[in-house]
Structure formats: structure tokens, C-alpha cells
Amino acid sequence: MKRASADAPTCRGVFREVEHSPGRRADDAAILEAAGQRLAQAGFSVAYLEPEAVAAHVGALPSLAFAMCEGQAALESLRVWESRGVSVVNSPISIVNTHRERTIALLEGRGIPMPESQLLDCRHPLPKASKDDGLFAACWVKQATEHKTREGDVIFATDRASVEAALDRLRSRGLPSAVVQRHVEGDLVKFYGVSDAATAAAAWFRWFYPKEHPAAGHPFDTRALGDLAYRAARALELDVWGGDAIVTPDGGIYVIDLNAWPSFALFREEAADHIGAHLATRLRRLAQVAV
């Protein structure tokens, strides 16, 4: 391991909030610390912060922050850090872009295949009759502002009544909006990746079938999946990302979700190598600019 010199660029890892890490707190912390270990081995100064400590930070700001936090307070503080010259991975705006209410428009704008999706206002009941009734025959009702943090954030519905019941449930929790997304039959595929949001350079990609969703094994073009995933990450301006897709029986691929910095549990050490290398490249670039 290289020893960090006194003038080496400093970096801070920011953990994910407990409420945004249901049942995955240890896994989330493990990948953040593993990426930090790679930076330390490369000779950079590394320390870690809980999300609430970002706003309370005093003293010199780091050159780079690598952040898994998702809460509004921490993201607003990181935006201030960015405005003062700190490089943040993933950037606060990219994390907000993973909220479904923003993701839909961003991916559609890049021509990335997604199941038909409709943004609904939870504060108002569904109209008595709607052209969307066909969509309600088999769909997923999801909270629009964040990813799943508790049971009931993603609900399968089969008609207008069950869609309304799902909206009622989200409404009772004070959530302002929801996404209704058409159910697409096929295999659920999860994917992980690292890329450079600034240059669109691809660095690393892996996909797998989640064990809790047995797959039929529909044949598909894995390069096409990787291409769609990279394009989706680019659309949301993400560097470290994961997501879900559906592979249909005829080999079609639909992206259904994208998220910022997953736990990479199945590929932790491999992912940490690539994340660490990506962050180190960013830090070296910053050091050159500073000179």
C-alpha cells in the first residue's frame, strides 16, 4: 500500500442512510469501504462520513466525495460541496435522476425501451373512466420519488380498483406521486456497472438472474443489454449504478429501473476494483488541474 503524502488529494466516502438501506446496511457499507480501501492502497487519503455529518463538516473540503447517500438533506449538502469545487461521485443530480418521476422522461428522451409508464398524482383519486384502464389490467404501482425502502413501495395491480388501493396506501404515507408501469412478461435480469458520466466511457458491466425470481432463460443479446444499460446510466449522469430489466420470450429487452450505487453483493470485490480505479482516475485528473 502506498502511503498518502501530505499533499495527496483527499476523499470522503459517505454512507447511505439507514432508511434508504432496508436490510442491506452491512452490504452497502462493505462496498463503500472496499472502494475506499482501493483508494487508500493507491496512496490517497480516505475517511468516511455518515450522511448527517456532511452538512456539519468543518475545515477543508475534500477533493472528491464518493457517496451512497440518497436523502434530501445530505444531497443538498453535497450540492454545496460541488459548488465549492468538490467532485462528487455519484453527483447529487444523478442520484435525484434515479427517482422514477425523472427517470421515465430521461430514458424515453434517449429512446431506451421501457414498459409503458404513467405518472399519477397520489393526492387525487383516479378519474371515473380513463384511457389508462388497459394499462391497469396488469401493472406495477411504484412510489415515484425514491426507490423501494419498505414493503408496499412496489405493488402489483390487476384492475382499476387495485390501482386505487395501491395509491391509497402510498397516499396514506404522504407520498405525493406514483408511477404505474405496465407489467411485461419475461425474465427479470439485474445488472451492475461503472462508467464515466462525463465522457460516457464504459468501464465494467455484469448481469445476473436474481435467485428470488427464477428465470425461464429466454435467449437474448447480452451486448445489447450492456449497451442499453450504459446508455441509461449516461442519460441519468451516473458513474456507479445498477438496475433491472425484463427480457421477453422473443429476446426483447426493457429497462424497468436504474439506481445509484447498489451494494454489488454478488460481485463486491470485482466491483470495488473498478470503482476504486475509476475514482483514482478522477482524483489524478483533479490533481493535474490543481497543478
Residue 161 main-chain phi, psi, to 5 deg: -65, -45
Q: Alpha carbon of 228 to those of 33, 218, 244: distances in Å?
A: 29, 18, 11
The pTM of this model reads 0.91
* Cβ pair 201, 195 in contact under 8 A: yes
> What is residue 199's three-state secondary structure?
coil
Grid coordinates of 176: 405525493
Residue 236, phi then psi, degrees to nearest 5: -95, 0
pLDDT of amino acid 288: 66
Judge whether 168 and 124 are in contact, CB under 8 Å.
no
Contact present, 50 and 77 (Cβ < 8 Å): no
State whether residue 140 is helix, strand or coil.
strand
Any idea which residue has 452497502 for its cell? Answer: 28
d(CA 192, CA 179) in angstroms, rounded, equals 23
Tell me if residue 142 falls in helix, strand or coil. strand
Per-residue pLDDT tens, the chain, 291 aa: give them. 555 544 667 999 999 999 888 778 899 999 999 999 999 999 999 999 999 999 898 889 999 999 999 999 999 999 999 999 999 999 999 999 999 999 999 999 999 999 999 999 888 888 776 666 789 999 999 989 876 666 778 899 999 999 999 999 888 888 889 999 999 999 999 999 999 877 766 789 999 999 999 999 999 999 999 999 999 999 999 999 999 999 999 999 999 999 999 999 999 999 999 999 999 999 988 776 543
| 10-90+266-290: in CATH 3.40.50.11950 | yes
pLDDT for residue 291: 35
Neighbours of 181 (CB within 10 A): 22
199-225 as b/e, with b when 16 or more CB fall inside 10 Å?
A: eeebbbbbbeeeeeeeeeebebeeeeb
Q: What is the pLDDT of residue 196?
A: 87
Burial label for 192, CB within 10 Å (0-12, 13-18, 19+), is buried
Q: Which CATH class for the 116-182 domain?
A: alpha beta
DSSP letters of 232-277? HHHHHT-SEEEEEEEE-TTS-EEEEEEEES---GGGHHHHHHHHHH
d(CA 236, CA 244): 15
Please say whether the structural domain 187-260 has been given the CATH code 3.40.50.740: no
Residue whose C-alpha cell is 447529487: 92
* Helices and strands counted in the chain (H then E): 8, 12
CATH 3.40.50.11950-classified regions of the chain: 10-90+266-290
Distance separating alpha carbons of residues 267 and 242, to the nearest angstrom:
12
pLDDT of residue 290: 47
- Where along the chain do the CATH 3.30.1490 domains lie? 116-182
Q: In the structure grid, which three cell numbers stand for residue 198, read together?
A: 462525463
* Cis upstream peptide for 259 (omega within 30°): no
pLDDT in tens, 178-221: 999 999 999 999 999 999 877 766 789 999 999 999 999 999 99
